Amino acid sequence: MKKQGGFGLKDSIKEQLIKQSLERRIRQADRNDRQGAEGATALRSDIPERFYSFRDHPGYQQLRIVREGAERLGVANPFFKSHEGCSGRTATIEGRDYLNFSSYNYLGLAGDADVNAAAIAAVERYGTSSSASRMVSGERPVHRELERLIADTYGVDDAIVFVSGHATNVTTVGHLFGPKDLVVHDALIHNSLLQGIQLSGAKRLPFPHNDWAALDALLMRERHRFERVLIAIEGIYSMDGDYPDLPRFIDIKRDHRCFLMVDEAHSFGVMGATGRGIGEHFDVDSGDVDIWMGTLSKALAGCGGYVAGESALVEHLKLAAPGFLYSVGMSPPLAAASLAALRKMLAEPERVVRLQARGSRFLQTARGSGIDTGSSVGMAVVPAICGSSLRAARLSEAMFSRGINVQPILYPAVEEKSARLRFFVCADHSEEDIDRVVSVLAEELGRL
């Protein structure tokens, strides 16, 4: 006789009921899965194509509208011209030589024979790549030689070089500051610093361009609410060609117990009697600025960026900043080129003197011709403000047709009413070059 199970049922009957129950559950689960899949498919079919198509990305659509509008107006694309040689005083574009005012080659050292030779020697010794991060692959002597010379030039403890100037700002600010901190910055600060602030999670507050009094008032209101506070300014502002009153900003930094960072991308090699930058120009103690930042791609004929300052800052960045720690080391020939360029800048200060003279001549001649140069002080960067993006693009095209290469700066890079041509003056430009380009510029502006 079969043994009775729970509730008076035989075990065999109980097993059969359990089996049937399990089968029903499996069938129901299968139905649910099918219904869920059908529902998910229905939901996926409701997702608009613009959410998974780069062609429909709003940013790309905006670029298309601008491009198509320019084409309808008969304005050629002024960007991405193919240069067939070294870009300095002149540029060769599609087989024709142009007088060139669209190069950061401020001291004429990109293409210099000694700089080229240093890069070639580094290729022969080290190859073209560091092949890994410097922590993993080890140092190359040329990296440390460059960092030591940058630090000595500033008169600070040490320096660190990164493979990109933009990445230098992003990773330095992004790593050193956080959600409990505040970054106050000039309203015209470079995009790389804005990206670094966003990455950090710190509170961001701009102050009016070069207005140290407004900064002081802002910090009186806000400083006590945060732990670390960074003040971020530039040596020369690349769109306007002017510079801040650095001693005033140093005083404010001290009064409010903040860090001060100066981005010298366009001022190192340009300002000061020997090109040492805005600190030399104002004769301040280098230790009064906490973070000296600059690029290697402009006066120093290479590519990359650097931070110079006290040992604790540099050591911290080398051991922990993601943009250094997780990035390949700088290409040895680029480091060698910048090292040779820096040595040459220090040995030949007449290059800096000539650059400053050419920039001043450009500014004074342009203003004398009635050209709106904004707030430029004539140190390498001089804008010619046109009043609209369309006028700026057409003026650039007209200059190009007359053998002068200069790029327009259009909205949204600047306000629409401030659209401009931006002239970069180099030490190799002659006085005759300056006089000619300003004369052509004034004539073409008159035609517009």
Query: What is the CATH number assigned to the segment(s) 128-347?
Result: 3.40.640.10
Q: How confident is the model at residue 28 (pLDDT cuts 50, 70, 90)?
A: confident
CA 382 from chain center: how many Å? 20
Strand order in the sheet with 420-424: 381-385, 420-424, 408-409
Question: Distance between CA atoms of 417 and 243, rounded to whole angstroms?
Answer: 22
pLDDT at 257: 98
Question: Distance between CA atoms of 39 and 103, rounded to whole angstroms?
Answer: 58
Question: Distance between CA atoms of 394 and 216, rounded to whole angstroms?
Answer: 42
Distances (CA, A) of 16 to 7, 8, 9, 116, 436: 15, 15, 11, 88, 102
* Tens digits of residue pLDDT in 219-244: 999 999 999 999 999 999 999 999 99
- Is residue 293 within 8 A of residue 402, CB to CB? The reply is no
What's the average model confidence in pLDDT over 17-25?
Answer: 70
Amino acid at 38: E
pLDDT at 448: 81
Which backbone phi and psi does 441 adopt, to 5 degrees? -60, -50
Amino acid at 355: L
Specify the pTM.
Answer: 0.88
Contacting residues for 410 by C-beta, under 8 A, at least 6 apart: 389, 392, 393, 419
What's the average model confidence in pLDDT over 416-426?
Answer: 96
Q: How confident is the model at residue 281 (pLDDT cuts 50, 70, 90)?
A: very high
Per the document, the length of the chain is 448
CA dihedral 168→171→176→182, nearest 10 degrees, is: 90
- Is residue 190 within 8 A of residue 212, CB to CB? The reply is no
pLDDT at 17: 65
Q: How confident is the model at residue 2 (pLDDT cuts 50, 70, 90)?
A: very low
Query: Residues 332, 335, 339, CA angle at the centre, nearest 5°?
Result: 135
Query: May I ask the CATH architecture of the domain 62-110+349-447?
Result: Alpha-Beta Complex (3.90)
Question: Distance between CA atoms of 443 and 267, rounded to whole angstroms?
Answer: 31
How many of the other CB atoms lie within 10 Å of CB of 389? 24
Domain boundaries along the sequence of the chain: 62-110+349-447, 128-347
Question: Distance between CA atoms of 114 and 206, rounded to whole angstroms?
Answer: 43
Range of lowest pLDDT (25-39, 272-286, 421-435): 25-39
Is the pLDDT reported for residue 194 higher than 50?
yes
Strand order in the sheet with 229-234: 158-162, 305-309, 291-295, 259-263, 229-234, 182-186, 203-207
pLDDT at 11: 63
pLDDT at 37: 65
**What burial class does residue 392 get, using C-beta atoms within 10 Å of its C-beta: 0-12 exposed, 13-18 middle, 19+ buried?**
buried
What's the average model confidence in pLDDT over 143-171?
Answer: 98
* Tens digits of residue pLDDT in 65-83: 877 877 777 777 888 888 8
102 vs 85, higher pLDDT = 102
- Is residue 236 within 8 A of residue 381, CB to CB? The reply is yes
DSSP state letters, 102-135: ----TTS-TT-HHHHHHHHHHHHHH-S---S-HH
For strands 408-409 and 420-424, give the pairing.
antiparallel
Is the pLDDT reported for residue 18 higher than 80?
no
Q: How confident is the model at residue 1 (pLDDT cuts 50, 70, 90)?
A: very low
Give exposure, 164-192, as e/b (b: 16+ Cβ within 10 Å): bbbbbbbbbbbbbbeeebbbbbbebbbeb
Amino acid at 158: D
* Tens digits of residue pLDDT in 319-372: 999 999 999 999 999 999 999 999 999 999 999 999 999 999 999 999 999 999
What's the average model confidence in pLDDT over 118-132?
Answer: 95
CA 21 from chain center: how many Å? 67
What's the average model confidence in pLDDT over 36-43?
Answer: 64
| Mean pLDDT (the chain, rounded) | 92
Closest CA to 267 of 348, 108, 380: 380
* Tens digits of residue pLDDT in 240-280: 999 999 999 999 999 999 999 999 999 999 999 999 999 99
